[in-house]
A and B are shown apart, each in its own frame.
Chain A
Amino acid sequence: MNVPTEAYVALSGVLFAIGAMGVLVRRSAIMVFLSVELMLNAANLAIVAYARHWAGFDALAGLTGQTVVFIVLAVAAAEVAVGLAILIAIFRDRSSTDVDALAEVRL
């Protein structure tokens, strides 16, 4: 069975939209963060799908696309490390990760 590239890209678009919605509506910083991860993985899905598409025309483009996915994964992992560290610092101080409570600076 040969799934067309458009189908993968459509799925990635849906995942990206779900992630973006999550960032906008969720209150917990962890859930916001998880939604960002979903967006990153949606982008990864699109890159692999396009890599398969372009591999038919140019083998190098296919390989490049697949390599980039690993780079994006590594970036996402580094982001997790830093993000969770900041999250823990905040949680120690306030026992909450509610993003709406981050309103002190506005005073």
Chain B
Amino acid sequence: MNLPPIMGDLVVLVPVVTLVVFAALTLLFGVFTRERAALGGLALTGVIAALVFTVFLWLQARAGGVAVTALGGAFRGDALSYAFSFIILIGAGLAVVLADGHRVRLQLDQPEFHPLLLLAAAGGLVLVSAGDLVTLLLGLEIMSLAVYVLAAWRERSRVSEEAGMKYFLLGAFASAVLVYGIALTFGATGRFDFAGIAAAAAAPDFAARGLLLLGALFVLVGLAFKVAFAPFHQWLPDVYTGAPTPVTAFMSVVVKTAAFGALLRTTGTLVDALGVGPIGEVLPAVLAVSIGLTMVVGNFGALLQSGVKRMLAYSAVAHAGYVGLAVLAGGDAGVQAASYYLFTYTFASVAAFAVLLSLMDDDDRGDRLERLAGLGRRRPWLAAALAVIMLSLAGFPPFAGFIGKAVVFQAAIAAGHAALAVLGISTAVVAVVFYARVVMTMYLREPDAHTPVARPIPRRTAVVMAIGLAATVVFGLFPGLWLDWIARAPWWSAGF
């Protein structure tokens, strides 16, 4: 029996361990001192420490040019995992600051709140660094279990409880489908690790291609639930609307980025493993149909909403469709396009929710579009910030959202999915309507007696908005800052 080296390079685990340690510290600190004001700062310190370690490891990996693995290949440090860990940690940091600014007002100041955010982020890191399907499942569960609780956080709030319950039941169902897919993939190849699956499927006498396809479809469905590909997106608008708004912001960046990281790695491996021929064409075809549906359903769904939070939720489905184009394109170009899209979406999304939070009531309700009437005159800076974010999300140049869509469509066309890219471009036109509606309400519509005055913004929230806004403009004007940086990395497909 030939055992693989068990430990490997344990240093790649440092960012995850940092997050877990800080989660424990934050929890203990909160429980023993009853000092709530410092918890956000402690949690943020943990995220920043993990970010610093990730950047350090990333630079080291770039210099070395090879992927590092730990725990017998279960945990990988390669370009995909570092790039996506980086995005996850940025999103988590912004969401922690955002939640901290509205902690008291929204009754989020229990000592368990910040530790759960950190644990969810740690699960996200495990998810994007997974070298086998079992680690992937563990990462998914570590992340999801924390987020189920966060979604249901607000006591005596029926919508929040409902969001938690819906997310939990559908999430548990999705993981069961994923586990069954893992079982079938194991049955077909005798392996759980991506490298082993690829090697087993590449063997000339590999006979279980049909079984592997079935397993791959189940795995795909399980992950499609998490990234909210249609027709598995129905939970998302309700959960995003019902969850406390800082948690919604967290989900829209951390959970989404992590799930896409896992999806990119999994579909990349499985599509390659299934190879060419009639069986190999099924998985991309299913994915293509689902992505086309996602773009249509997300954009038209957002068009019909009167609440801004729910509109952003549907638009999150639409954005998942656009990132899906990059997943379908696959290869290094697809991964790079997806990483740019998710990186810039992280800033725009958190900033959008930050603006929204300062317009909502203390019970975390009240997101109707009419509330924005006259904001352009009453709060010119806030309105300008929201306008830039909306235009970026709609895909207007020169903002980052435009470049994001451009690279994604480019990757899809280069991979031979021109028809789907055309569908994406036409649905993006629909998106302009509902994003522009927000901007027009702010600047053209007169406020009436019922329009509430926007509250003063906590300084921490203003910082989140400023960072989000600055990144949206800077990475829109200079997309090379991210694209050139990651293009020079040794990519994951070379790592096996």
Contacts and interface: CB of A to CB of B under 8 A. Distances in A.
B483 interface: no
A29 interface: yes
Contact of B190 (A57, A83, A94, A105): A57
B187 A105 contact: no
A81 B158 CA distance: 21
B176 A50 contact: no
Interface string A9-29: 100100010010001000001
Contacts of A19: 176
A82 B123 CA distance: 16
B191 A61 contact: yes
Nearest to A61: B190
Contact of B169 (A12, A33, A78, A89): A33
Interface of B: 1-3, 134, 137-138, 141, 145, 148-149, 152, 155-156, 158-159, 161-166, 168-169, 172-173, 175-177, 179-180, 182-184, 186-187, 190-192, 237-238, 241-242
A21 B237 CA distance: 24
Contact of A75 (B2, B137, B155, B192): B137
A39 B190 contact: no
A71 interface: yes
A86 B192 contact: no
Given A43-B176, A61-B190, A71-B134, A105 B169 contact: no
A86 B161 contact: yes
Interface string A63-75: 0110010011001
B180 A42 contact: yes
Contacts of A93: 156, 158, 161
A7 interface: no
Interface of A: 9, 12, 16, 19, 23, 29, 32-33, 36, 39-40, 42-44, 46-47, 49-51, 53-54, 57-61, 64-65, 68, 71-72, 75, 78-79, 82-83, 85-87, 89-90, 93-94, 99, 102, 104-106
B176 A40 contact: yes
Contacts of A16: 180
A50 B192 contact: no
Given A102-B162, A106-B238, A46 B180 contact: yes
A105 B180 contact: no
A39 B180 contact: yes
B141 A75 contact: yes
Contacts of A94: 158
B67 to A, nearest CB: 21
Nearest to B148: A82
Contacts of A42: 180
Given A58-B190, A60-B2, A36 B172 contact: yes
Given A29-B165, A54-B190, A75-B138, 9 more contacts: A32-B169, A36-B169, A42-B180, A43-B176, A68-B134, A71-B138, A86-B152, A89-B164, A90-B161
Contacts of A32: 169
A54 B180 CA distance: 17
Contacts of B152: 86, 89
B172 A33 contact: yes
B183 A43 contact: yes
B190 A104 contact: no
Closest 4 CB pairs of A and B: A39-B176, A46-B183, A50-B187, A54-B190
Given A86-B149, A93-B161, A72 B137 contact: yes
Most chain B CB inside 10 Å of its own CB: which residue of A42, A85, A99, A104: A104
Nearest to B237: A105
Contact of A102 (B165, B182, B187, B241): B165
B165 A9 contact: no
Nearest to A91: B161
Nearest to B310: A105
B253 to A, nearest CB: 21
A85 B149 contact: yes
Contact of B168 (A9, A12, A82): A82
Contacts of A43: 176, 179-180, 182-183
A33 B180 CA distance: 16
12 contacts: A39-B176, A40-B176, A43-B180, A44-B179, A50-B186, A64-B192, A68-B192, A78-B141, A82-B148, A86-B149, A86-B164, A104-B158
Contacts of B162: 90, 102, 104-105
Contacts of A33: 169, 172
Contacts of A50: 183, 186-187, 190
